[in-house]
A and B are shown apart, each in its own frame.
Chain A
């Protein structure tokens, strides 16, 4: 019984915060847009009894999903979001891993301070930090003023309102989510393993690739997921730092919802986004399970 209640907690969490909202969005995605409050039809009316519920379900259809296939805007936006998310995850890993590695190699009395420094930016609102980047990257901004002053460039660089600014914003914002899990994996690592590798003739570099990297794999994968998943649906960073040519599904979703006032199509876009995210997660978990089974044998 006690065990059951322990397991129940995460499941209730999942039900209340994931499954129920998902079903509501799914329901809206199968409805039709209408000029009413709320702006879609049909509405579920329990007062009408069983018949009303039956007509309600009869009125739902997959029209909005079919609509998404008629315009290339949607899949292009999905693809472009995937590309931006993959590239930013790559950059975050490239920067995050060395940071996490040096943190884990630092003297133990320094580690809490270093950890604190990584977490510190969270004390300021995310929005304000993105706004600060607008000040840094703009044509008359700090970065350009510094580069002009140092004589490296003679004309200000246009960075703000381009895809480059979006990458900078995403990598900056999500870097801690990459550093923290890798750090926690590396910190737990047993140093004697590296000594053993060197005793057995490994150079320091190959010991790093053959021992350290595989042992921090869980941290790398967790970090990549923590960065990739929110980046895919990112809206704030591309809309503040990106230009009009930055195509991301988060922006398309916003336009469907606010400009077209078409909640059903917006919901359909959201459902597909969720499916795109769920498939790699399931594949990843399957893979993990297989590995575990292989190790057990």
Chain B
């Protein structure tokens, strides 16, 4: 009997379960208000299975291996572009997405760089890569006029030597750190020329001895606890650290700045895998997310900006009014985007990154 049940369950899975509607969503960790998930099930009657990941690399490996079983996934811009080329996604059926009209052209015109005509994806959230500081400790180390909104703070060895004592973390992501360093050198941050990329190496090697760790998520806790005083990280993550520290009332005051020299802007895009078992339900989910109220609820919860214009009147003042989340027009002008490295250049970049980190 048990065997029979198992067999029929497998069959139902293979058949794509045409009757019992469900949708499997694979999103970044800590990236949605859980109440929205319940609301989706209540509104549509579709069963929602929600899993999380914490790195684009992990998601990409699943997408390229195929048969992930997910209906909606959330890669970032450059990763999305590469996966579209590999044939990992299906084109969106616009007739099933009436809420498409809510999207914001400021964002969608930029995401076209990764996804021409936005044919495969919708924007979920976007943000910048910048500098998070523990105001008290940094001012103690560098004085009251510490350049907390400038790359001078983290790429100038003199400043870094003084900060090393209280701890500096950098993202373990060459695709973020190398464009940032090139921007500091007034080079094209999106350069794919190995000779230009190589110019970033001596700058990073010079500050390397003062960096405690390269990691892409630990800095949230480390900043909030006061274990470190400076982190290069993603806007929403550092704002989360700021709020955690404020809640803990531990005397730690965190501030986030997109570097004034120019900061990288990134986009997390929702897309439907080519082999998604439930593409119809996936479209229903995307349309639900693009609803103005739902998107506003999501941003109010995670402190990231979204690509939905209609949601903006519904955002809380501490989200829409915070220039760290919604930069003003001048800062927005100053943000740059990058495109994926071709495989040969990617290898050069990874190798250089290993050399910077480990000295080998």
Contact = CB atoms under 8 A, between A and B. Distances in A.
Chain A interface main SS type: loop
Question: Which interface class (under 10, 10 to 19, 20 to 34, 35 or more) fits B?
Answer: 35 or more
Nearest to A248: B358
B88 interface: yes
Interface stretch (B9-17, B19-27, B238-246, B347-355): B347-355
A257 interface: yes
A39 B86 contact: yes
A140 interface: yes
A138 B227 contact: yes
Contacts of A72: 360
A270 B226 CA distance: 40
Contact of B347 (A161, A258, A262): A262
A211 B55 CA distance: 54
Contacts of A35: 82, 85-86, 343
Contact of B346 (A38, A71, A261): A261
Interface string A38-78: 11000000000000000000000000000000011100110
Contacts of B88: 37
B141 to A, nearest CB: 16
A270 B24 CA distance: 33
Contacts of B55: 258
A192 interface: no
Nearest to A36: B86
A71 B353 CA distance: 14
Interface string B329-356: 0000000000000010011001101110
B343 A262 contact: yes
Contact of B213 (A73, A243, A261): A243
B101 interface: no
A297 interface: no
B347 A37 contact: no
B64 A37 contact: yes
Scoring A39, A73, A252, A259 by chain B CB atoms within 10 A of each residue's CB, the highest score goes to: A259
A33 interface: yes
A260 interface: yes
B143 interface: no
B167 interface: yes
B213 A244 contact: yes
A190 B353 CA distance: 57
Contacts of A138: 227
Contacts of A33: 343
A245 interface: yes
A24 to B, nearest CB: 13
Interface string A139-177: 110000000000000000000010000000000000000
B60 interface: yes
A46 B306 CA distance: 47
B360 A76 contact: yes
Nearest to B55: A258
Interface in A197-254: 243-247, 252
A63 to B, nearest CB: 14
A258 B174 CA distance: 13
A191 interface: no
A261 B351 contact: no
Contacts of B227: 138-140
A195 interface: no
A296 to B, nearest CB: 49
Contacts of A76: 360
A245 B350 contact: no
Given A35-B86, A37-B88, A73-B354, A244 B214 contact: yes
A71 B350 CA distance: 13
A6 to B, nearest CB: 28
Interface of B: 55, 57-58, 60-61, 63-66, 82, 85-88, 167, 172, 174, 211-214, 225-227, 343, 346-347, 350-351, 353-355, 357-360
13 contacts: A33-B343, A37-B63, A37-B64, A140-B226, A244-B172, A244-B213, A244-B214, A245-B357, A258-B55, A258-B60, A259-B57, A261-B60, A262-B347
